[in-house]
């Protein structure tokens, strides 16, 4: 009788947190779990230009969620010849349409700028992919509800299970013959603010677990208290309250907190301007798929206080308004987007409050602001930073070290082995030691292109 063969290859998110791609090779079937873009430092970003070997041999992509580091390589993969299905949940399908089209627009604008300024080392700078590539990619998407089993090959099946990270996100339970694998995807918080809680870990022989916060704990300071204090300070000085934000999940979380604070009369009834077309589109998807504003009082506060800023001209009008107001605009790390115009106009006023609602990567303006730089550059000119900067410590869509261990511990039967991916090396290795000590399960840390053969 022919023996079964099963192997995993970690093509991305190994030793780092971006570029998620894990190839599952079961007998003659190859499926790819996630197809993410590498982001951050240049040495990682250049990997996006390398072709994925076997593009034509992969029969399906299984997508855990709509963040770019998990889905952003898809149009490039399709361009290389991938013709199979892209499986995801219905909300993920809606979100990747918005996110991939935005990503293509940025790629096209970057290439266009490089050609105009002639700073590309290549003859002619090309975008990694275009909107046309994204439209082709979207044609290959098929959606599945949570817990629906899908059979991509003989003796191979998988299902999506709610994992609480962002709307539509899922862990993947995959059965290859008698072997049971679980890919955690990015695991959400155990006590989330607006997301449903992650479902328990199903029984698995092997767990592929993310480790973004493998060596850290989230702060216990309440984001409600921090935002309340910051908004009240801005109101006292009749200044601008500016919140750079990520379009998916973070904007809706911030909105939820602001609406709760207004409902509970903890902050004044200020107008909230949502000045981000992408965040507005995502908020609409979320409100139609699952209502994160179930409380009718919150809905009516939103209807009264929220103003969606439609186009660029309207955005300029809001920038010029001097009255005290709250603005939520992209991008989350102040690297681009409409927030730049608001900051350019108001960063040098001591009455302005800037709330940074999450992690700010090194080299971004958000990181500079968080670390207290005296001046900052917008559109080729330096501006003095006189605004009060508040960094929120506790908003995160990822489980921290304790939550990851807690989630694994509460399964029916511990896995035989855990493989850690999606973490910086120090985070993954620290979590490995802790899991081995606390749970007694052997742990392997994935390295780039690691090939792991599973014995039957």
Contacts with Zn ion, residue ranges (CB under 5 A): 67, 186
* CA 51 from centroid of its chain's CA atoms: 24
Closest C-alpha to 142, from 221, 59, 199, 201:
59
Comparing CB distances to Zn ion, the nearer of 69 and 275 is 69
Q: Which of 322, 334, 9, 290 is nearest to 168 (CA)?
A: 290
From residue 58, how far is each of 47, 128, 276 by CA, in Å? 19, 21, 36
- Distance CA(428)–CA(417), nearest Å, equals 15
3-state DSSP call for residue 31?
strand
Beta strands in 13-84 (DSSP E): 21-26, 29-33, 58-62
- 3-state class of 221 per DSSP? coil
- Pick 60 or 186: Cβ nearer Zn ion: 186
Nearer to Zn ion, 166 or 306 (CB): 166
Rounded to the nearest whole angstrom, what is the least distance from the CB of residue 65 to Zn ion in the complex? 6
| Token duo for residue 187 | 């695991």
* Peptide bond just before 251 cis, omega within 30 deg: no
If the CB atoms of residues 210 and 275 are measured against Zn ion, the closer one turns out to be 210
We find the least distance from the C-beta atom of residue 99 to Zn ion, in angstroms, to be 11
Closer to Zn ion by CB, 65 or 175: give it.
Answer: 65
Among 193, 144, 189, 145, CA closest to 164: 189
Q: How far is the CB of 229 from Zn ion (least distance, A)?
A: 29
Task: With residue 382 as reference, give the H or E element that holds it.
Answer: strand 381-384
Q: Residue for token digits 């809001």? A: 318
Closest CB to Zn ion among 64 and 367? 64
CB of 165 to Zn ion, least distance (A): 6
Taking the least distance from each CB to Zn ion, the nearer of 6 and 61 is: 61
Min separation Cβ 248 and Zn ion, Å = 9
Min dist CB 54 to Zn ion, Å, is 25
What's the closest the beta carbon of residue 70 comes to Zn ion, in angstroms? 6
Q: Where are the beta strands (DSSP E) in 13-83?
A: 21-26, 29-33, 58-62
18 DSSP assignment: S
């Amino acid at each position: 009788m022919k023996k079964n063969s099963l192997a995993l290859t970690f093509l991305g998110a190994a030793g780092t947190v971006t570029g998620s791609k894990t190839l599952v090779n079961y007998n003659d079937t190859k499926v790819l779990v996630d197809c993410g873009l590498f982001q951050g430092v240049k040495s990682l970003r250049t990997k996006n230009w390398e072709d994925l070997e076997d593009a034509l041999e992969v029969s399906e992509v299984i997508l855990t969620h709509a963040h770019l580091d998990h889905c952003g390589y898809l149009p490039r993969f399709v361009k290389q010849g991938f013709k199979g299905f892209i499986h995801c949940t219905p909300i993920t399908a809606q979100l990747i349409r918005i996110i991939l089209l935005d990503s293509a627009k940025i790629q096209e604008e970057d290439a266009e700028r490089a050609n105009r300024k002639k700073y590309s080392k290549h003859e002619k700078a090309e975008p990694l992919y275009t909107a046309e590539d994204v439209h082709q990619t979207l044609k290959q998407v098929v959606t599945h509800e949570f817990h629906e089993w899908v059979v991509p090959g003989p003796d191979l099946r998988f299902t999506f299970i709610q994992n609480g990270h962002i709307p539509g996100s899922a862990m993947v339970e995959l059965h290859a013959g008698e072997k049971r694998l679980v890919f955690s995807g990015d695991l959400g918080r155990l006590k989330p603010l607006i997301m449903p809680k992650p479902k328990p870990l199903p029984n698995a022989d092997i767990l592929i677990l993310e480790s973004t916060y493998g060596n850290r704990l989230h702060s216990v300071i309440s984001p409600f208290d921090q935002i309340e204090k910051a908004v009240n300070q801005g109101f006292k000085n009749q200044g601008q309250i500016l919140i750079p934000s990520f379009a998916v999940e973070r904007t809706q979380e911030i909105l939820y907190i602001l609406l709760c604070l207004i409902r509970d009369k903890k902050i004044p009834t200020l107008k909230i301007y949502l000045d981000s077309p992408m965040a507005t589109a995502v908020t609409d998807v979320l409100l139609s798929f699952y209502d994160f504003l179930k409380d009718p009082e919150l809905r009516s506060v939103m209807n009264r206080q929220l103003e969606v800023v439609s186009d660029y001209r309207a955005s300029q009008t809001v920038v010029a308004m001097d009255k005290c107001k709250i603005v939520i605009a992209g991008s989350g790390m102040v690297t681009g987007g409409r927030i730049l115009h608001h900051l350019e106009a108001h960063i040098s006023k001591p009455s302005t409050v800037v709330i940074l609602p999450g992690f700010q990567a090194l080299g971004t303006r958000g990181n500079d602001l968080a670390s207290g730089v005296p001046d900052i550059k917008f559109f080729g000119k330096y501006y003095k930073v006189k605004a009060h900067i508040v960094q929120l410590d506790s908003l995160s869509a990822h489980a921290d070290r304790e939550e990851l261990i807690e989630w694994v511990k509460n399964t029916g039967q511990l896995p035989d082995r855990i493989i850690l991916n999606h973490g910086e090396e120090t985070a993954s290795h620290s979590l490995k030691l802790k899991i081995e000590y606390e749970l007694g399960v052997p742990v392997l840390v994935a390295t780039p292109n690691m090939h792991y053969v599973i014995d039957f």
